[in-house]
Amino acid sequence: MSRYYVGIGSNLGGRLARLRAAVEQLAGVPGVTLGRFSGVWETRPMGPGTGPFLNAAVELSYAIAGPERLLEEMLVIERGHGRLRRERWGDRTLDLDLLCGYANNDNSEIIADLPGLTLPHPELGARDFVLQPLVDIDPSLVIDGRSCADLLAALADEERTLLRRFGSLAGGGA
């Protein structure tokens, strides 16, 4: 069984309800056991998005070998929410990103460089809307030899997109 961190985002429709539904659907994937959740963060879009995003992350364990199958399941969930891949950084009903993973037998970082899948996610260290949710889950989490907390602290002001903590992935309230 391996441990993975999944980024979840949306800027269209009922954003918070969509994030919560995606977490429920991830929990229903064969072999997945949910772990910890981050807070939900409202962020300004990078690039051409037309409205603020909600972003969060979830830790999960996956009993089926290889991250490729988990990614396939995530893409099915995205499509079920009407996700269309038209433009990079554009508006999206739901975005699920496999951010990083660790082998549970020795806690080593899972490295992948495959068509359509790179682990850890290649732009993870430059995105506060990814790093802050990971820090929420585990402040000591290390990616490529650096803690997510250190990566977040090193971002320049002009690279920051976080607007405010918006709520929780748990049901109820904002």
User: Any catalytic annotation for residue 95?
Assistant: yes
Reply yes or no on whether the pLDDT at 48 is more than 80: no
- Catalytic, 97? Answer yes
Catalytic site residue from 18, 20, 97, 136:
97
Contact between 101 and 118 under an 8 Å Cβ cutoff? The reply is no
60, 3 Cβ separation under 8 angstroms: yes
Please give the Cα distance from 112 to 122 (Å, whole number).
11
157 tagged catalytic: no
pLDDT, tens digit (0-9, with 9 covering 90-100), for 82-125: 866 666 666 788 999 999 999 877 788 989 998 889 999 988 99
Q: Give residue 174's pLDDT.
A: 46
pTM above 0.85, yes or no: yes
Query: 2-166 belongs to which homologous superfamily?
Result: 7,8-Dihydro-6-hydroxymethylpterin-pyrophosphokinase HPPK (3.30.70.560)
- For 22-56, b/e burial (b = at least 16 CB within 10 A) is bbebbeebeebebeebbbbbbbebeeebeebbbbb
Q: Can you give the pLDDT at residue 173?
A: 47
Beta bridge partners of 167: 40
Over the stretch 143-173, which tens digit does the pLDDT of each residue have? 989 999 999 999 999 999 999 999 898 865 4
* Residue 138 annotated to the active site: no
